[in-house]
Amino acid sequence: MKRAFHSLGGLFVRSATALGRDVLRLELSPSDNEARDFLKHLHRLEDFDSFVVEVPMDMLESMTSPEEFGSREHKIAMLQGNCINLRISVANDRQDIEVLETTRSDLLKP
């Protein structure tokens, strides 16, 4: 199975929900037309111009500010309304998305 690798930046976090202890479900909206067109091509955008991915809970720290203290639940709640970047792989045959890495959008600014 061939995989293609892509980066998506400036994804607005509409909601973040813990699915047990190991998985975090993110509802994201693209903030630029290029990301939106790419996700539409993959048939990933829903009616409200958003899509859902599940990521390992270990990625939570890379999406929150280093100054953000508190419990895991607090950090998950603070994700909503922020922007993140994803590095993903897409399976060419089924177009399944796997999230490989996450970062806060503001970490990439000079």
CB-based contacts of 14, cutoff 8 Å, min separation 6: 27, 28, 29, 50, 80
Question: What's the pLDDT at 109?
Answer: 43
Instruction: Name the pTM for this structure.
Output: 0.84
**pLDDT (mean) for 49-57:** 91
Quickly state the pLDDT bin for 12 (edges 50, 70, 90).
very high
What is the overall mean pLDDT for the chain?
A: 85
Alpha helices by DSSP H, listed for 1-110, are 33-41, 60-63, 72-79
Fold of 3-108: OB fold (Dihydrolipoamide Acetyltransferase, E2P) (2.40.50)
Spans of all domains in the chain: 3-108
Q: What is the pLDDT of residue 46?
A: 65
